Structure 1
């Protein structure tokens, strides 16, 4: 199906797709070194799929189940995810630059390393997700629900964090210079001493030795 457009996500149109894969069973599929571009995946079961070095470019995933899948050094560049499930999925050293997420579920999602810059996760419920040593520069996390989540060593510089809920979230080692303590919820969040100084200055306090 040539030139099919998926629905916009957060006002941004998804990349046009040229082929469609619908209702396929990719359960436990080895995705190692597979390369897909401009593909629309609809209701595809990728449960426990995984591999090393897979590449998806300008693809749209609608209703795809990534549950318990494991991806290493994979790339999902400028992709769109709509109503997808990421229960217990793992992404290690993966690039998801420019990808957009809408109405997805992320329970027990684990992200270790990689580049998630410019991703759109507005309003996402990440309360049971864990991000470690991930680059998330200029990501959109406005209104994201991250209470109780873990963001350890995450580069959030330039990210949109307005209205995000980080209460009880482990933020140690992350760049939180973009968090406005007047608009984000930070009650009981776990931070390190350096971050405490950053937040104190954001509150207009004069920090001295």
Structure 2
């Protein structure tokens, strides 16, 4: 089982689902359930709540998740190609050896999430809370992160080359340890980054 951020173990599960015909979790609540090797491709989930669940080898490709919650969940070896999360709460969840691609997140709270080392190239995050998230060595080249709250996030070794970061909180970004070449930023962010480099920014 994957370790969680700060050394916390993943929650133990109490039941398993390995065969789910015509899955539709909308409106249901699942607690401490292990979902193993399921195909949730193109599932349209609205309002489901997953608490302390584990998803191992689950295919979320082209699925949509709206106003749903994945709280303190663990995703292991799962795929999220062309999946969309809208206004979802993914607090404290961890993604381990998962694959993405055309991944979209609009709104919602992803604080304390663990995405260390994830390949999020070309993904889109808009108006999302990623406070204190583990984004160490995350690959976001060419990604869009507009209006994202990255306050307190761990970003050492992250790659945001050619990413669109406009409107995002970059107060904890260290330009010495984060790749930012070609990234698109606004004037306010430019001042923040210049200050973090030790420059004395003054009006002309």
TM-score range, shorter chain: over 0.9
SS in 2 for 1:94: strand
Query: How far does residue 23 in structure 1 lie from its aligned partner after superposition?
Result: 4.5
How far apart are the structure 1 equivalents of 2:45 and 2:69?
11
How far apart are the structure 1 equivalents of 2:77 and 2:45?
23
The alignment covers a number of residue pairs equal to 202
How far apart are the structure 1 equivalents of 2:19 and 2:45?
21
Contact 1:46 1:66 in 2 (8 A): yes
TM-score by length of 1: 0.93
Decide whether aligned partners of structure 1 residues 190 and 12 sit closer, same or farther in structure 2, where only a CA change above 3 A counts. Answer: same
> What residue in structure 2 maps to residue 3 of structure 1?
none
Contact 2:32 2:54 in 1 (8 A): yes
> What residue in structure 2 maps to residue 174 of structure 1?
168
Is 1:105 the counterpart of 2:89 in the alignment? Answer: no
Listed as ranges, the gaps of 5+ residues in structure 2 are: none
Query: How far does residue 31 in structure 1 lie from its aligned partner after superposition?
Result: 2.3
Query: How far does residue 34 in structure 1 lie from its aligned partner after superposition?
Result: 1.2
Query: How far does residue 182 in structure 1 lie from its aligned partner after superposition?
Result: 0.3
> What residue in structure 1 maps to residue 136 of structure 2?
142
TM alignment of 1:22-61, pairs within 5 A: 22-26=18-22, 29-61=23-55
Contact 2:27 2:49 in 1 (8 A): yes
How far apart are the structure 2 equivalents of 1:127 and 1:176?
19
Contact 2:2 2:96 in 1 (8 A): no
Is 1:21 the counterpart of 2:23 in the alignment? Answer: no
Is 1:79 the counterpart of 2:65 in the alignment? Answer: no
Is 1:69 the counterpart of 2:54 in the alignment? Answer: no
TM-score by length of 2: 0.96
Query: How far does residue 30 in structure 1 lie from its aligned partner after superposition?
Result: 2.9
After TM superposition, where is structure 1 displaced by more than 2 Å over at least 4 residues in a row?
6-12, 23-26
> What residue in structure 1 maps to residue 3 of structure 2?
8
Listed as ranges, the gaps of 5+ residues in structure 1 are: 1-5
Contact 1:89 1:109 in 2 (8 A): yes
Query: How far does residue 9 in structure 1 lie from its aligned partner after superposition?
Result: 4.8
